[in-house]
């Protein structure tokens, strides 16, 4: 290869990187990172350091049927007998009952798994989390993952405050993403004959 051919191919790489191909690589990297995080947290309840999240709370909590599905309400308070045996509180004019098993019991009443913390109840928070960075950030090697809507941002912030950074990557995940980045970037060089 002559110097002129080499120079032409390097300029092709630079052109591809500046034209948005690098941004595409970063967007793909962000999507892959989110997929890895969701899979680890939702399927194993493990944080980025490899530890299980603290289990769902068993601390008694206040509830009422308006915050539950009909079947969950029927299970816990579906008869006069059941309601009579419950402990009740009035808070700001609302009659609430105590769930002695806390949030864990609340999840069980709704048919949700409680073996580990997966931050999944309705699924709205996870479905709202995405790559929220823009093309300019991607071109500058930045991919940001977060919630898009304010209510889901608040849920994510609350869960993070209680349990730690949910959207952290493990070292293994980082290494896998680095390898993916190198392969994708190398492909840009290969596409230009280098």
What sign for the dihedral angle of Cα 96, 61, 158, 43?
A: negative
Rounded to two decimals, the pTM is 0.84
The Cα 11–Cα 18 span in angstroms is 10
What would the pLDDT profile of 128-185 be if each residue is shown by its tens digit? 999 999 999 988 889 999 999 999 999 999 999 999 999 999 999 999 999 998 888 8
Assign 6 a pLDDT band (cuts: 50, 70, 90). Answer: low
pLDDT cut 90: percent of the chain above it: 76
Q: Which of 4-13, 37-46, 84-93 has the lowest mean pLDDT?
A: 4-13
Where in the chain are the domains? 19-54+119-194, 56-115
The Cα 46–Cα 39 span in angstroms is 10
Q: How far is CA 5 from CA 10, 96, 177, 179, in A?
A: 9, 77, 32, 29
């Amino acid at each position: 290869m002559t110097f002129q051919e080499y120079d032409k191919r390097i300029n092709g790489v630079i052109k591809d990187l500046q034209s948005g191909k690098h941004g595409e690589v970063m967007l793909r990297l962000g999507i892959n990172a989110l997929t890895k995080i969701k899979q680890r947290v939702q399927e194993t309840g493990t944080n980025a350091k490899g530890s299980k999240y603290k289990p769902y709370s068993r601390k008694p909590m206040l509830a009422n049927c308006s915050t539950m599905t009909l079947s969950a309400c029927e299970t816990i308070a579906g008869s006069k007998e059941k309601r009579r045996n419950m402990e009740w509180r009035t808070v700001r004019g609302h009659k609430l009952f105590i769930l002695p098993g806390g949030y864990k019991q609340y999840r069980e009443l709704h048919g949700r798994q409680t073996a580990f913390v997966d931050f999944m109840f309705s699924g709205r928070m996870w479905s709202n989390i995405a790559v929220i960075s823009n093309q300019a950030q991607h071109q500058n090697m930045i991919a940001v993952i977060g919630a898009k809507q304010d209510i889901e941002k608040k849920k994510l912030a609350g869960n993070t405050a209680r349990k730690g950074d949910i959207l952290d990557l493990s070292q293994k995940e980082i290494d896998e993403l680095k390898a993916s980045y190198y392969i994708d970037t190398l492909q840009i060089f290969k596409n230009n004959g280098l």
